[in-house]
Amino acid sequence: MKEIYLAGGCFWGTEHYFKQIQGVVNTEVGFANGETENPTYKEVYTDQTGYAETVLITYDEQVVGLEFLLNMFFKAIDPVSLNKQGHDEGTRYRTGVYYVTEDQLPIINKVFAEQQALLDQPIAVEKLPLRNFYTAEEYHQDYLDKNPDGYCHLPTALFEYARKVSPTI
């Protein structure tokens, strides 16, 4: 199993989206690349901790590849928006790809270059090694499964798309 950490705005919808993709075996929402130890959601919400709402994605690379997951990530975000996705604003909602091994970087760079070629503004997505990650409180885990009518900045059609698309490795 491999891991990648993706910050795509509010982690409720980002997690639910990636859970639909064949080959994603586990997701966990939390906070990445901040400045304090063991932050709570209430602390992160102040935008004073430096954390981004992030989803840890564990995937089976025999079923789905990192390149595919990253291209799916770009379908779910506004890549030129800084610290804002949908109606959610603040540094905690910034977008980012946080990698855990150096061998992931060439794939990440390839996808960023391909995505940048499609845009007329610079990509505002962070591309950094993972410094730290703290799991969010239990009520945030699988939030949209527990609260099907809960808030989400992503359109429901995107979840259906993720469920139906065939992954590539």
* Residue 85's CATH number: 3.30.1060.10
Separation between Cα atoms, residue 18 and residue 32, nearest integer Å: 17
Does the annotation mark 152 as catalytic? no
Q: How many domains does the chain have?
A: 1
Q: Is residue 160 part of a domain?
A: yes
Q: What proportion of the chain, given as a percentage, has pLDDT over 90?
A: 99
pLDDT at 73: 98
Q: Is residue 132 part of a domain?
A: yes
Separation between Cα atoms, residue 77 and residue 54, nearest integer Å: 13
Q: Is residue 169 part of a domain?
A: no
pLDDT at 7: 98
Q: List Cβ neighbours of 25 (8 Å cut-off, separation of 6 or more).
A: 1, 58, 59, 60
Question: Is the per-residue pLDDT at 168 higher than 90?
Answer: no
What's phi and psi for 67, nearest 5 deg? -60, -45
pLDDT at 161: 97
Taking the model in full, what pTM does it have? Answer: 0.97
pLDDT at 157: 96
Q: Residue 27 sits in which domain range?
A: 2-164
Separation between Cα atoms, residue 84 and residue 7, nearest integer Å: 11
pLDDT in tens, 89-109: 999 999 999 999 999 999 999
pLDDT in tens, 44-94: 999 999 999 999 999 999 999 999 999 999 999 999 999 999 999 999 999
Q: Which of 4, 6, 7, 10 is catalytic?
A: 10
